[in-house]
Amino acid sequence: MFWADKIAQSSRQEELVNDSKTPSGRVHVGSVRGVIIHDVMYRALKRANKPVKFTYGVDDYDALDTVPYYLDQEKFTPYLGYPLCNVPSPNDKSSDYAKYFMEEFLEVFKYLGVKAEIYYLRDLYKSGKLNSYIDTFLQNAQAVREVYLSVSKAQRADNWYPFQVICENCGKIATTVTTDYNGSEVFYTCKEDATDWVKGCGHSGWVSPFDGNGKLPWKVEWVAKWDLVGVTMEMAGKDHSQKGGSRDVANAICRRVLDKKPPFHSPYEFILVNGTKMSSSKGVGSSAKDMADLLPPEILRFLMLKTQPKTVINFSPNYDNITRLFRDYDNLLNSYANLQKENENVELDKTLLPLFYAQLDEEIKPYYTFDISTLISLLQVPHLDLKREIKKRAEVDLTEYDWEKIDERINVAQKWLADYADEEEKLVIYFDKVPEVVSQLTQEQITYLAKLKDILSTVEKWEGEELQTALFTATKELGFSPAIAFPAVYYSFLGKDKGPKAGYLFSYLDKDFVLKRLTDVIN
Ligand SMILES: [Zn+2]
């Protein structure tokens, strides 16, 4: 059974699935994994006819702890230590920093068809909804300290209270330490040495901890949020789920102070993206928005779903990964289409469910899956009538919907070529002249090209599969190894020793051109 359906099946109560995010900067594509995991749990519960809600909390009372490299350092450095909702927006459209980055991320939610109810922590604090929890945790400061010590081995001073005031003098929240509580006010100091990344101003005094004057430390805040919002299920990334980690601490506080069962939890793994080179050289990288700009929504959802939550996804948007992602998707979609021909109501098994949950609605609509790597190659062949070529290769009548999906893929291929492709990944065909490097071909390689030319001049269909067979036939007839023979082909057309499957490469080119080039090289 698919993991999300397993969770749905074991549910015995009304469920509230929750996830959250600190909007501290541009959101990495890794955060989309959490969003999709929770979204699919929600959808699996709905599909099983269980009562369920889906919420997403924005932790915008957290402090700005670093100024991202892509922002104006001079402008934002003075706001280090401020609650994110009190830092100005990088543009003049959003009301503040937290909203600015969250709005961008919410666009991605919309794009991916994720329909969670969004709430902001600033609203929960300022409206007083968290007041009773703040009082409870301050009253039970000793129990909180004990949990920190026993679960995470973190020693807190006897006069440490789980609360951070927004300093009335300098506006920072990261630098204040609370050391007393009299039932209506806390005593705090804005300490110069509270953190090693920002200095406090030294101010101290008594102030009410309620109605937005400060916040609970986030492990404690997590517990208050669970109870206030009514969360029954919340997964967490592996980083928070280690033994003695933040989730363990929050769970223990929930049991000890509130005497309640913490929400259902299971950790999920990261997405590793090797995107540094891209982000520095081309201004695009691996943010959630960048990936949403590159990939169609169901393909981006599928990337998150084709791998089990407990397995790391290694994904940098290079040629191999992008083409494999589409190929895996196409294989599933085509096997679904075949099953549908036999029986209108296809039974969705474990293999097909990632495809099902990748869709934005509750229906899988098969289409002609034009191969993305072919598109990437075709786009690089000059003077080619792309649409005509696609029509010819498809060999079936393409519907309007097929064309819609093909156009979507053309966009992906174009964008990938423009923003992500490495020079080695690009196909540069030497049309006008024979690459100089062919002067280094061995006699054996020349013999191979001559044999290949003879075979190619007799092939019936100038198509990838058949041409690929011709390339191998030539090696077999001569008893040559493809490892020695094939580079001769690539040298002759691309001026380098490797490229896409040579049979397919030929199929993009005119037959006369290929034969003439082989003749020129042989001579
Ligand atoms: Zn201060």
Cα of 146 vs centre of ligand 1, distance in Å, is 28
In angstroms, the first-to-last Cα distance of the chain is 62
Q: Is 41 exposed, middle or buried (0-12, 13-18, 19+ CB in 10 A)?
A: buried
Cα of 88 vs centre of ligand 1, distance in Å, is 18
Cα of 496 vs centre of ligand 1, distance in Å, is 63
Cα of 186 vs centre of ligand 1, distance in Å, is 15
Cα of 114 vs centre of ligand 1, distance in Å, is 40
**Tokens in use for 357?**
């949950």
Domains of the chain are 3-131+219-271 (3.40.50.620), 151-215 (no CATH), 436-522 (1.10.10.350)
475-502 CB burial, b ≥16 within 10 A, e <16: beeeebeeeebbbbbbbbbbbeeebbbb
- The C-alpha atoms of residue 385 and residue 284 are separated, in whole angstroms, by 29
Residue 426 CB contacts under 8 Å (≥ 6 apart), including other chains? 380, 417
pTM attached to this predicted model: 0.89
Cα separations in angstroms, 136 against 130, 217, 224, 441: 10, 14, 10, 80
Residue 90 CB contacts under 8 Å (≥ 6 apart), including other chains? 71, 72, 97, 100
Cα of 194 vs centre of ligand 1, distance in Å, is 11
Cα of 142 vs centre of ligand 1, distance in Å, is 26
- The C-alpha atoms of residue 411 and residue 405 are separated, in whole angstroms, by 10
**Tokens in use for 413?**
């291929």
Cα of 202 vs centre of ligand 1, distance in Å, is 6
Cα of 167 vs centre of ligand 1, distance in Å, is 5
- The C-alpha atoms of residue 328 and residue 323 are separated, in whole angstroms, by 9
Cα of 98 vs centre of ligand 1, distance in Å, is 21
Residue 31 CB contacts under 8 Å (≥ 6 apart), including other chains? 21, 105, 288
Cα of 205 vs centre of ligand 1, distance in Å, is 11
Cα of 218 vs centre of ligand 1, distance in Å, is 20
DSSP run (H or E) holding 19:
strand 15-21
Cα of 200 vs centre of ligand 1, distance in Å, is 5
Residue 56 CB contacts under 8 Å (≥ 6 apart), including other chains? 18, 19, 20, 21, 35, 38, 109, 116, 117, 118, 119
What single-letter DSSP state applies at residue 63? B
> What's the chain's length in residues?
523
Cα of 172 vs centre of ligand 1, distance in Å, is 6
Cα of 248 vs centre of ligand 1, distance in Å, is 32
Cα of 13 vs centre of ligand 1, distance in Å, is 46
Cα of 102 vs centre of ligand 1, distance in Å, is 27
Residue 73 CB contacts under 8 Å (≥ 6 apart), including other chains? 67
- The C-alpha atoms of residue 175 and residue 152 are separated, in whole angstroms, by 22
Number of other residues whose CB lies within 10 A of the CB of residue 171 = 16
Cα of 137 vs centre of ligand 1, distance in Å, is 23
Asked whether the CA dihedral 273, 277, 283, 284 is positive or negative, the reply is negative
| Structure confidence at residue 255 (pLDDT) | 98
Cα of 195 vs centre of ligand 1, distance in Å, is 13
Kindly give the confidence (pLDDT) of every residue in the chain, 523 residues in length, as a single tens digit, with 9 standing for 90 and above: 999 999 999 999 999 999 999 999 998 888 899 999 999 999 999 999 999 999 999 999 999 999 999 999 999 999 999 999 999 999 999 999 999 999 999 999 999 999 999 999 999 999 999 999 999 999 999 999 999 999 999 999 999 999 999 999 999 999 999 999 999 999 999 999 999 999 999 999 999 999 999 999 999 999 999 999 999 999 988 888 889 999 999 999 999 999 999 999 999 988 877 644 343 344 456 789 999 999 999 999 999 999 999 998 888 888 989 999 999 999 999 999 999 999 989 999 999 999 999 999 999 999 999 999 999 999 998 888 999 999 988 989 999 999 999 999 999 999 999 998 888 888 888 888 899 999 999 999 999 999 999 999 999 889 889 999 999 999 999 999 999 999 999 999 999 988 888 998 899 888 999 999 999 999 8
Number of other residues whose CB lies within 10 A of the CB of residue 127 = 11
| Structure confidence at residue 428 (pLDDT) | 84
366-395 CB burial, b ≥16 within 10 A, e <16: bbbbbbbbbbbbbebbeeeeeeebbeeeee
What single-letter DSSP state applies at residue 491? H
Alpha helices, DSSP H, located in 24-96: 30-47, 73-76
Cα of 201 vs centre of ligand 1, distance in Å, is 4
Could you tell me which of 55, 62, 53 has the C-alpha nearest to residue 22? 62
Cα of 277 vs centre of ligand 1, distance in Å, is 39
Cα of 190 vs centre of ligand 1, distance in Å, is 5
| Structure confidence at residue 274 (pLDDT) | 65
DSSP run (H or E) holding 186:
strand 186-190
Angle at the Cα of 486 from the Cα atoms of 481 and 490, rounded to 5 degrees:
165
Q: Identify whether the C-beta of residue 249 lies closer than 8 Å to the C-beta of residue 219.
A: yes
Cα of 515 vs centre of ligand 1, distance in Å, is 78
- Please give the torsion angle defined by the CA atoms of residues 373, 377, 380 and 384, in that order, rounded to the nearest 10 degrees: -120
Cα of 498 vs centre of ligand 1, distance in Å, is 62
Cα of 417 vs centre of ligand 1, distance in Å, is 50
Cα of 185 vs centre of ligand 1, distance in Å, is 17
- The C-alpha atoms of residue 370 and residue 399 are separated, in whole angstroms, by 13
Cα of 126 vs centre of ligand 1, distance in Å, is 20
Cα of 169 vs centre of ligand 1, distance in Å, is 5
Cα of 159 vs centre of ligand 1, distance in Å, is 20
DSSP run (H or E) holding 118:
strand 117-120
Q: Measure CA 334 to chain center.
A: 25
